Amino acid sequence: MKNHFYHQIKACAFKIFITCLLAFVITGAFAQDKTKTIGNKSREGSTNTSFDAVKGAQVGIRMNAGHKKVELLKLTFHCKNRASDSIAFKVNVYHMGGKLPIDSNLVKEQITGFIGKYNKSEIQEVSVDLSAYHVLVSGDILVSIEFLTTKTGSNISFACGLLNGGTFHKDGITQPWKKIPVVGVDFNVLVKKLK
């Protein structure tokens, strides 16, 4: 009887051990999908940096993606659109070549988003899901939005911060990149660290 009871306890202890081991392995597999946010701090406050939506014009910031490759998952920023219609844009990503971006887009498919039309309420959050496009980057990059249409009087005010790397912009397709050195729009990107 004692021997039978001893074997039952031993079998039960073994089952608990196997269950714990499986839980550890499953948890470890999920833990490998580590994410972090790069770019500027997200905020809804100050909106000192404004741009009109002009087809081909771009607004963006420099971000450090780190030495190892990461996958871009989601772009987020806050802004206010003064136009009476929504504004379409696409997301571009460039390597930085010293002080300015290199004009070779790392995004091979068109990733689009929309800034909602004018609303008297507070500033709006705009998010674009990038996960389906498998954009892999490392090092210093420039993440920008490029306006797909011209909207007169749009005067889009972006939430921004002081002394956070500045804002890069192009005023049209053929225009050169310029930098506003002191004020940086609060673009940030959720990224996934790769194994």
- The number of folded domains in the chain is 2
Q: Looking at the structure, do residues 47 and 20 belong to the same domain, yes or no?
A: no
Q: Looking at the structure, do residues 45 and 108 belong to the same domain, yes or no?
A: yes
120-154 tens-digit pLDDT: 767 889 999 999 999 999 999 999 999 999 998 88
* CA dist 169 → 48, 69, 95, 121, 172 (Å): 15, 25, 15, 27, 9
Q: Which domain holds residue 146?
A: 35-193
Q: Looking at the structure, do residues 9 and 49 belong to the same domain, yes or no?
A: no
Q: Is the pTM of this model over 0.85?
A: no
Q: Looking at the structure, do residues 174 and 109 belong to the same domain, yes or no?
A: yes
Q: Looking at the structure, do residues 75 and 10 belong to the same domain, yes or no?
A: no
61-99 tens-digit pLDDT: 999 999 999 999 999 999 988 888 999 999 999 999 889
Q: Which three-class secondary structure state does DSSP give residue 13?
A: helix
pLDDT value, residue 79? 92
CB 139 within 8 A of CB 65: yes
Q: Looking at the structure, do residues 16 and 75 belong to the same domain, yes or no?
A: no
Q: Looking at the structure, do residues 44 and 27 belong to the same domain, yes or no?
A: no
Q: Looking at the structure, do residues 180 and 138 belong to the same domain, yes or no?
A: yes
Q: Looking at the structure, do residues 44 and 23 belong to the same domain, yes or no?
A: no
CATH code of residue 54: 2.60.120
DSSP 8-state assignment for residue 105: -
* CA dist 160 → 129, 137, 163, 186 (Å): 21, 24, 10, 5
Q: Looking at the structure, do residues 130 and 155 belong to the same domain, yes or no?
A: yes
Q: Looking at the structure, do residues 50 and 114 belong to the same domain, yes or no?
A: yes
| 3 state SS for 152-173 | EEEEEEECEEECCCCEEEECCC
Q: What is the largest CA-CA distance in the chain?
A: 89
Q: Looking at the structure, do residues 94 and 174 belong to the same domain, yes or no?
A: yes
